Every structure is written in C-alpha cells, then in structure tokens.
C-alpha cells in the first residue's frame, strides 16, 4: 500500500465521507484564466503516479475542459435507472458534463440547475474505490462553490493563482470563502510564475514576483509550489496528454508531483473522519 493512501479526513459538520471516495479535494481559483483546470488534471495524474487510486470531477458545468485535456473520446456507459460509469484515461477515473453534451452545445442553465447537475455528476456516478477525487471547480465564488461546500464532503481545498495583483485579489476571496464554509485550505499554487523562453531559455517574471508567496503568508497557509508559464504545458493539455503523462521525467512534471506530495502531506495533518465507522442509531 502506498504511503500516500490516507484514511478519510474530517469534513464539514453534518456531512459524511462519500462511501467510495476517501478524500475529496477541490481545486479552485478566484478568477478565470489562471490555469486552474490544467493544474487540476496534472495534479490528479501526479497523484495517480504515486501509487494511489484517483479520480477527477469536472465541476465546471458551463465550460468543461477535462475531456479535451485527457484526450478522451469515449462517453460514460449509461443504462436507464443505473449510475453512470466514469471514463478511464491514463488510469484516472473522470466525469464531466463535457462527456454528456455535444461540444458545441452551450449550457444555458440557471444556478439551481447547475448545482443539481454537480450533485448528480458526483453521486450518480459509479465511482470505484478512490483514495482521492480532485474536483476542478469553475472560477469565482458562486452557486457551484456554495453547493460544493454545503452538500459535498470536501476534505480540503487548493487555491490556484498567478502572481499578478488582480489574480491575487480574487484568489484571496476564494480562499476566505472556503474558510467561512469550514473547509480547510491546504495551500496555494502559484501558476505562470515565470515565463520560460523555448528558444533561448531566458526566464522572466512577466506577471510579477512573489505574489503567491505573499498570499500564503498573509493568509497563513502553505505555498505548495510554483509552476512556469511554458509552451509545453499548453501544448500537452491541448493535445490530450498532460505534461505529467507526456513527459513524466521533465522538470515540470517533477514540480507537479512535488506539489501533489505537499498537498497530501497537508491533508494528513487534519483529523481523521470516523463518521463512516459507526452505524446510524435510530431511536424508535
């Protein structure tokens, strides 16, 4: 058994851990365009490479992106009255609205419909026994995030940001939202920290310096790591084989694995959940 195979950690009071999933980790951002989804799928694949069973839930109902980044062409198996079967790609179990609707069909839904869809994607999917489920949240602090906190047993959250002040401002709002909803924040990931020129190797901090570290300090959380703005990360994701898979020995892939290990180490510091070990007591 892998040393990264943790027992279920405590979740929001009133919720029990998912019967098939030990720990659910939300990957969030305050604003769009910071590379959250790319970071989420690489983290999920990095965790899987550590010898644990991992799934990813694409909670961005309006703009699902995980099917493209995983290069998944198949659709979930469905039989009337039975749960959906997740799509398996690179030993990663995934579910997304992108598997269920045409790629060109917009999801013109109001908030309650979106929140219900998220719960169905999680609870009406026949997940195998998973050590971790990574949830790729949409940006912001809206209906999906609130549903996630109130209805779904999330063990911890990770905030993805870029170093620039505008992204940091929104990232802090997202971080504080999880705290108010009693969900532990495991740390901050600074994405696009520097730009690596593929022609000459020059490294330049085009979005600013030290933003993620400053956010971690002022909010008293861990900076899990920094990732570069690099052409390879984008090309690999667009090509359906994220960097952890396409180039597993690259420095970038090693960064993702290092961040994944730190994330799990932070989760291990939180109390275990014993909710599933005791039967429900009914007084008649």
Task: Say if 8 falls within a structural domain.
Answer: no
In a domain? residue 3 = no
Report if residue 4 sits inside a domain: no
CATH number for the domain including 151? 3.40.50.300
Query: How many other C-beta atoms are found inside a 10 Å radius of the C-beta of residue 209?
Result: 11
pLDDT cut 90: percent of the chain above it: 63
Domain for residue 103, yes or no?
A: yes
Question: Is residue 148 one of the residues assigned to a domain?
Answer: yes
pLDDT at 129: 97
Which pLDDT score, from 0 to 100, does residue 46 have? 98
Higher pLDDT, 282 or 66: 66
Tell me the C-alpha distance between 64 and 89, whole Å. 16
pLDDT value of position 277: 56
Contact at 8 Å (CB) between 240 and 71? Answer: yes
In tens, the pLDDT along 190-241 reads: 999 888 777 787 778 888 788 889 899 999 999 999 999 999 999 999 999 9
CA 223 to chain centre: 16
pLDDT tens digits, 234-267: 999 999 999 999 999 999 999 999 999 999 999 9
**For the segment 147-165, what is each residue's pLDDT rounded down to a tens digit?**
888 889 999 999 999 998 8
* Distance (Å, whole) CA 252 – CA 227: 7
Tens digits of per-residue pLDDT, 1-24? 678 888 999 998 889 889 999 999
Kindly state the tokens that stand for 41.
């799928």
Domain that holds residue 102: 21-277
Can you give the pTM of this predicted structure? Answer: 0.92
What's the token pair of residue 163? 């170093």
In a domain, 15, yes or no: no
Mean pLDDT (the chain) is 90
Q: Report yes or no on 272 lying in a domain.
A: yes
Rounded to an integer, what is the distance from CA 252 to the centroid of its chain?
18
Is the pLDDT assigned to residue 31 strictly greater than 60?
Answer: yes
């Amino acid at each position: 058994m892998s040393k990264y195979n943790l027992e279920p950690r405590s979740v929001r009071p009133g919720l029990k851990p998912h019967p098939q999933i030990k720990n659910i980790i939300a990957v969030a951002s305050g604003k769009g365009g910071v590379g959250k989804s790319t970071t989420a799928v690489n983290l999920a694949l990095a965790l899987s490479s550590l010898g644990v069973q991992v799934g990813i839930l694409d909670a961005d109902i309006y703009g699902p992106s995980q099917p493209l980044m995983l290069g998944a062409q198949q659709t979930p198996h469905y039989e009337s009255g039975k749960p959906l079967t997740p799509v398996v790609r690179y030993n990663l179990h995934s579910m997304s609205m992108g598997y269920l609707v045409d790629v060109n069909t917009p999801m013109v839904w109001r908030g309650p419909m979106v929140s219900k869809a998220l719960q169905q994607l999680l609870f009406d999917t026949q997940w195998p026994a998973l050590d971790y489920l990574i949830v790729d949240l949409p940006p912001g602090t809206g209906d999906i995030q609130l549903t996630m906190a109130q209805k779904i047993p999330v063990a911890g959250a990770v905030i993805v940001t870029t170093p620039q002040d505008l992204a940091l401002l929104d990232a802090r709002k997202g971080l504080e939202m999880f705290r108010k909803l009693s969900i532990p924040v495991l740390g901050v990931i600074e994405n696009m920290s520097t730009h690596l020129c593929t022609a000459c190797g020059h490294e330049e901090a085009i979005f600013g310096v030290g933003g993620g570290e400053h956010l971690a300090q002022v909010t008293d959380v861990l900076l899990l790591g920094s990732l570069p703005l690099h052409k390879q990360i984008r090309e690999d994701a667009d090509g359906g084989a994220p960097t952890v898979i396409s180039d597993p020995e690259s420095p970038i892939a090693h960064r993702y694995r290092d961040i994944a290990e730190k994330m799990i180490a932070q989760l291990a510091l939180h109390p275990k959940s014993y909710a599933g070990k005791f039967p429900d007591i009914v007084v008649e």
